[in-house]
Amino acid sequence: MTDTEEEQRRRLVECFERAGLTLEQLWMRYFALGGDAGLLELDAYLHGVMSLPRVQRDMVAHAVNERLDELIGRNRVPYSRPIRPGRPAHGPLAALVRLLEGAHRAPPERLPAILDAAGEALDLRLGVYLADYSGRILLPVGGAGRQPLEVGNTVAGEAFQRGDVVIDDERDEPRMWAVLLDGVERLGVLEVAPTDGTDPHDPLLQEQCRWLAYLFGHLVTITTHYGDGLDRVRRREHRGPVTELLWTALPPLTAATESVTVAAAAEPAYALGTDVFDYALSETSASFAMFDAGVREPTAALSAVAALSAYRAARRDGTGLQAQARAVDEAAGDLGKAVSGVLGEFDVTTGRVTYVAAGHPPPLLLREGEATRSLREGRAAPFGRGDGEWTVTEEELRPGDLLVLHTDGIVAARDRHGVPFGRSGLIEVLEREGANRLPPEVARRITQAVLAHGGEALADDATVLLLRPFGDYRTSQWF
Per-residue pLDDT of the chain (479 residues; tens, 9 = 90+): 677 788 888 999 998 988 889 998 998 888 888 888 888 999 999 998 888 988 888 888 888 888 887 776 555 566 556 666 667 777 787 888 888 888 888 899 999 999 998 998 888 999 999 999 999 999 999 866 789 999 999 999 999 999 999 999 877 788 999 999 999 999 999 999 999 888 888 888 888 888 889 999 999 999 999 999 999 999 999 999 999 999 999 999 999 998 999 999 999 999 999 999 999 999 999 999 999 998 778 788 999 999 999 999 999 999 999 999 999 999 999 998 899 999 999 999 999 999 999 988 889 999 988 886 677 655 678 999 867 778 899 999 999 899 999 999 999 999 989 999 999 999 999 999 988 899 999 999 999 999 999 888 888 999 999 999 987 666 667 77
What is the C-alpha to C-alpha distance for residues 200 and 202, in angstroms, rounded to an integer? 5
Closest CA to 395 of 470, 431, 324, 345: 345
Contact 359/380 with Cβ under 8 angstroms?
A: yes
What is the C-alpha to C-alpha distance for residues 476 and 22, in angstroms, rounded to an integer? 34
Neighbours of 211 (CB within 10 A): 16
Contacts (Cβ under 8 Å, ≥6 apart) of 106: 114, 223
Per-residue burial over 9-25, b = 16 or more CB atoms within 10 Å of its CB, e = otherwise: beebeeebeebebeeee
CA 327-333-338 angle, 5° bins: 105
Closest CA to 33 of 205, 268, 277: 205
pLDDT number for residue 167: 93
What is the C-alpha to C-alpha distance for residues 116 and 83, in angstroms, rounded to an integer? 31
What is the C-alpha to C-alpha distance for residues 274 and 304, in angstroms, rounded to an integer? 6
Q: How many residues does the chain have?
A: 479
Q: How far is CA 80 from the centre of its chain?
A: 48
Closest CA to 343 of 331, 330, 332, 327: 327
